[in-house]
Structures are given as structure tokens and as C-alpha cells.
């Protein structure tokens, strides 16, 4: 049996900042996070400049020191109060070795202060994204305004002529192009055993990453019987089945300091979503048996309150238990399993829905948990994944299910109201928006198209970004989760709607599949 010493357990968002940095040889400029070797929690949290192949930090603000342990208090500024314009000047820290930026002569230490002769007077994100879309769908080039060694120069970047379709990157052939690039990137990096080397995990996180990649390839139309990514899906499924039940604690640390570091629920819930979709698409006895076992484990791990924790075993290192991002994922996992013909405990589901309603906000938003200081403040990431699960469990039209549905429809693009992992909220909100309908989908892409454009990289991957919480903490969960997390989740958002990409999509998770018997 193969072990995975380079995979350190997937760290749940709040616990992530507690561990010391994982050893990594640092030269400060290695693509994509400024480190080489193992994933490092102190990797650089830089702004990705789209397919230019460059990453930069705010040139006018010193970054906070990297988090090396202990719990930090984070200033929680709501987007409506602070906006999200990005820096006005970008200090280049990382260059893709084969990217258009490096080929154009962009150098480490350059400060980009504008595009096409216009300075970033109100922030860089919108004008840079618009310039990238215009260039790639048009003549292929644009000009960066750069300061180097005290002098102002112009750097003409050639991103290539991608064609008119890329003028609409979230629709039609443009969307399909970005989706296809992400799938190919994932396939190139899958290990022979079905997992991924660039994973922050030993078992749990490796199962999460394999499940997400599997879901992305399923979107394309491949399954266990046929398709371009048939072999990749088979290997991913085998990997998940092999490792999902392996006991795994954070970083392989068992009861470190007497605390409970069990994170296994994350592996179970994402495995259930993947294998549920797979079993409906191309049923096998092996997958069905494992899916029933996973569903039983999820039910068994439910806390007495009705919610779920990172894993069983009592309060974690921060002395709390439930968190509703896992509760929502548990419902999604159980819902996908039920559609695949798996028996799911009804009382467990009722307790979970009651817990969500008791801890949530009156408008249907799912809050962090039910304790003082945690309840009553809903956000889209938690609500989206809980609502997706409730629908497949036959509770989409229950009073709380309807409230969650209205919340998703009204807040589909409000991902910056999330917590800990921005990409987690982008991921869940994007899938739920496509399940909700065209109104929610439009709201989602109205705010997230820019981020999609800037997330792209010249190698076909998609990269994480900083946001107000990570910039105040000095660490970014989406960076620490490794190179697979962001491309896989963006690919699922792009591919989950079958009509949008003319593929198979994810009809089970989106609530569009009839239950198997």
C-alpha cells in the first residue's frame, strides 16, 4: 500500500493558521506560490495577473508577517464597506517561466501602475481584467505601464489571439475553452495512483482533491465507461475508495497537545458528492458499496446537536465543535448518495435541518454554528451547499429549504461575505447559482467574471487570489491547500451546468437527476 508523506492533511479553514509552516525550500519567486518543494502555509498570497503569467503584491502596503501559529483576530470588513478594487500599484514577485509577461520583458521588482496608458486610479482589478479580455479576443496585445528603477516604461505583452469567443469568458465557446484547459491541466498532474502530489494532506485532503478532480472530469461527460477522461475518473474513484476510510489527523498529528485534530469529515462529504454523481452516471457494485459505507459514516459522525464538526472526537484545538460549512456539505453528500440509491437516515437529516434553522439568520442564510457570536450571520458558501443537499433529500420545499433557496437566489455573487477560504465560497455559490436558475447565475457572474479572468494562468490552471481577510492574516487557505484546489473548483463551477458547456454537467448535485432505486 502506497503512503503519501508529501500530503499533509487538508486543514479546515480556521485550524489552518495554527500549524507551523510546512518545510519548503524558498527562493521567493518560484511559480506559482514563491516556494519549491512541499506546499507551504507561508507561500506568497499574491494577486494573479491573469494569463500574463505574473503575480504581484500591493506595492504601497507592506504585507503582514506570515502566520506561524496561534490564533489571529481578523478585522471583518464587509465588501459593501470596503469595496474590492485591488491595489493601485502592483509589485511583481513571481513570473511564470513560459508566460507572456516574462517573454515581454517583465521583471521581478517591476511595479505595474496602469494598463494601456491609463493608471489604476481606482484599483487594478477591473481595468486589468477588461484589458486581458479585450486583448485575447482581439489583436492579442496590450501595454502595461511599469515603473522600473525609478523610470516609467511601457511593456507590450502578447497574450495571443484567442478569438472572439473569449470576449465572453463565462459563456459559450469562451467558457468551454477555459474549462477544457483546466481539465487538461488536472489530468497532466494526476499521479498514477489517482491522487495528486500537490496536495496539502496525507489522506483526508488527498481524498478531497481526487474527488474534486473527478467531479470536474464528470462535467465533461466522461465516466467509468467512456470519455476523454475515463481513465482519470477510474483512477480518482479507486483512490477515493482506497483512502477515504484511512484514519487521518491534521498533518498526521494525533491528539497534538491533547487536542482533537481529526479532519475526516471533509474527506467523507466530498467523496460522497463525487461517488454519488459517478454512481448515477455509470453504476457499479463496488462504488455502491463504498458509497453506502461513506453515507453511514457521515450519519455516525453527526453531533448530538444535529450539526457536524471537522471530524469526530469532540471539540477541536480551538475548543469548538460544529461548523455549518461541514454540516451543509454533509447534507450535500447524503443528498447525492440518496439520489444514487443509497439508504439515508431520515432522522439524521431532520436533525441537521433543524440545527441549520436554529443557527441561521431569519432570511435563510446559514450561519457558522449555533453558539453565541456564531449564529445569525448567514453567508452564501454555507447556505449554497446546504440548500443543494436539502433539495436532493426532499426538503427543498420545506420552510427552511425555501428560505435557503431564496437566500441563494438573492446572494449568489456575495462571496466576499464568506470566511477563511474565499474559493470555497466561490465554488459552492457558483454550483448553487447554476442550480437556482438564470437570475442567480447572472448575479454570480456579474461579480465573478472578473475574478475568473484574473485567476487564469498561461499553463491552463486557475490561481487563488488575496482578499481582505487573508491580507490581514498573512496567510491564505486557498494557497495553502495547494495547486489542485483552485483549478478543480473553478472547473466545476464552469462545467456543472450541462447546457452552459454542452457537456454532461453535474445533474445529481444540481438536483436534476431522478433518484435511482
Mean pLDDT of the chain: 89
Nearest to 41 by CA among 467, 474, 486: 474
Give residue 492's pLDDT band: very low, low, confident or very high (50, 70, 90).
Answer: very high
Q: Which CATH architecture has domain 168-501?
A: Alpha/alpha barrel (1.50)
Instruction: Output 377 or 306, whichever has higher pLDDT.
Output: 306
Mean pLDDT of 376-389: 96
366 and 375 Cβ atoms separated by less than 8 Å: no
In angstroms, the CA 400 to CA 406 distance is 10
Cβ–Cβ under 8 Å, residues 228 and 222: yes
Q: Which alpha helices (H) appear in 340-466, and where do they start and end? A: 346-359, 380-392, 399-411, 422-436, 438-455
Q: What pLDDT is attached to residue 252?
A: 44
Give domain limits for the chain.
20-68+84-164, 168-501
Q: Beta-carbon neighbour count of residue 316 at 10 Å?
A: 22
- Alpha-carbon torsion (180, 181, 183, 188), positive or negative: positive
Give the cell for residue 172. 459559450
CA atoms within 13 A on the CB side of 50: 26
Please check the confidence at residue 72 and state whether its pLDDT lies above 50. Answer: no
Rounded distance, CA 122 to CA 264, Å? Answer: 44
pLDDT of residue 516: 77
Per-residue pLDDT, 418 = 84
Per-residue pLDDT reduced to its tens digit, 175-222 = 999 999 999 999 999 999 999 986 655 789 999 999 999 999 999 999
Whether the upstream peptide bond of residue 32 has omega within 30° of 0, thus cis, is yes
Residue in this structure with the C-alpha cell 461575505, named with its chain if needed: 417
Burial class of residue 78 (count of CB atoms within 10 Å of its CB; 0-12, 13-18, 19+): exposed
CATH superfamily of 20-68+84-164: PDZ domain (2.30.42.10)
Whether the per-residue pLDDT at 471 is higher than 70: the answer is yes
Residue labelled with grid coordinates 491573469 = 50
Q: What cell numbers appear for 513 in the block?
A: 437527476
Cα–Cα dist 209/93, whole Å: 27
Compute the distance between CA of residue 362 and CA of residue 369 in angstroms, rounded to an integer. 14
Nearest CA to 220 out of 183, 250, 275 is that of 183
Mean pLDDT of 14-19: 35
- Torsions phi, psi for 50 (to 5 deg): 65, -150
> 3-state class of 87 per DSSP?
coil
For residue 172, count other CB atoms closer than 10 A to its CB. 15
d(CA 164, CA 296): 50
Amino acid at each position: 500500500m502506497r503512503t503519501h508523506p508529501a500530503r499533509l492533511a487538508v486543514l479546515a479553514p480556521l485550524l489552518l493558521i495554527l500549524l507551523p509552516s510546512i518545510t519548503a525550500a524558498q527562493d521567493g519567486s518560484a511559480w506559482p506560490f514563491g516556494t519549491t518543494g512541499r506546499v507551504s502555509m507561508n507561500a506568497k498570497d499574491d494577486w494573479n495577473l491573469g494569463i500574463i503569467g505574473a503575480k504581484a503584491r500591493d506595492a504601497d502596503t507592506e504585507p503582514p508577517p506570515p502566520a506561524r501559529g496561534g490564533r489571529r483576530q481578523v478585522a471583518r470588513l464587509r465588501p459593501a464597506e470596503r469595496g474590492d478594487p485591488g491595489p493601485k500599484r502592483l509589485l511583481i514577485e513571481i513570473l511564470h517561466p513560459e508566460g507572456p509577461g516574462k517573454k515581454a520583458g517583465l521583471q521581478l521588482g517591476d511595479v505595474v501602475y496602469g494598463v494601456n496608458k491609463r493608471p489604476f486610479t481606482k484599483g487594478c482589478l477591473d481595468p486589468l481584467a477588461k484589458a486581458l479580455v479585450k486583448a485575447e479576443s482581439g489583436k492579442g496585445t496590450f501595454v502595461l505601464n511599469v515603473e522600473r528603477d525609478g523610470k516609467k516604461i511601457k511593456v507590450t505583452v502578447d497574450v495571443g489571439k484567442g478569438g472572439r469567443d473569449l470576449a465572453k469568458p463565462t459563456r459559450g465557446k469562451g467558457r468551454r475553452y477555459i474549462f477544457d484547459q483546466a481539465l487538461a491541466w488536472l489530468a497532466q498532474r494526476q499521479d498514477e495512483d489517482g491522487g495528486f502530489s500537490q496536495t496539502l494532506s496525507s489522506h483526508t485532503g488527498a481524498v478531497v482533491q481526487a474527488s474534486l478532480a473527478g467531479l470536474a472530469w464528470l462535467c465533461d461527460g466522461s465516466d467509468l465507461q467512456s470519455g476523454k477522461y475515463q481513465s482519470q475518473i477510474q483512477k480518482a474513484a479507486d483512490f477515493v475508495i482506497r483512502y477515504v476510510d484511512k484514519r487521518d489527523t491534521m498533518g498526521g498529528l494525533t491528539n497534538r497537545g491533547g487536542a482533537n485534530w481529526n479532519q475526516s469529515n471533509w474527506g467523507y462529504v466530498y467523496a460522497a458528492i463525487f461517488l454519488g454523481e459517478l454512481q448515477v452516471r455509470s453504476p457499479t457494485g463496488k462504488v455502491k458499496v463504498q458509497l453506502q459505507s461513506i453515507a453511514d459514516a457521515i450519519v455516525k459522525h453527526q453531533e448530538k446537536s444535529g450539526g457536524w464538526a471537522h471530524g469526530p472526537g469532540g471539540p477541536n484545538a480551538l475548543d469548538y465543535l460544529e461548523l455549518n460549512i461541514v454540516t451543509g456539505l454533509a447534507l450535500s453528500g447524503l443528498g447525492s448518495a440518496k439520489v444514487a440509491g443509497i439508504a439515508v437516515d431520515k432522522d439524521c437529516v431532520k436533525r441537521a435541518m433543524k440545527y441549520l434553522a436554529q443557527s441561521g439568520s431569519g432570511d435563510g442564510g446559514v450561519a457558522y454554528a449555533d453558539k453565541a457570536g456564531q449564529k445569525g450571520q448567514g453567508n452564501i458558501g454555507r447556505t449554497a451547499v446546504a440548500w443543494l443537499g436539502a433539495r436532493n433529500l426532499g426538503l427543498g420545499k420545506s420552510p427552511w429549504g425555501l428560505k435557503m433557496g431564496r437566500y441563494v437566489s438573492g446572494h449568489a455573487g456575495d462571496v466576499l461575505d464568506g470566511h477563511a477560504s474565499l474559493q470555497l465560497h466561490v465554488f459552492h455559490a457558483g454550483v448553487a447559482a447554476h442550480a437556482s436558475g438564470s437570475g442567480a447565475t447572472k448575479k454570480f457572474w456579474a461579480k465573478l467574471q472578473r475574478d475568473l479572468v484574473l485567476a487564469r494562468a498561461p499553463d491552463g490552471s486557475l490561481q487563488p487570489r488575496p482578499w481582505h481577510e487573508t491580507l490581514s492574516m498573512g496567510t491564505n487557505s486557498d494557497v495553502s491547500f495547494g495547486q489542485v484546489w483552485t483549478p478543480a473548483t473553478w472547473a466545476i463551477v464552469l462545467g456543472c451546468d450541462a447546457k452552459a458547456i454542452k457537456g454532461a454537467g453535474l445533474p445529481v448535485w444540481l438536483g436534476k437527476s431522478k433518484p435511482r432505486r
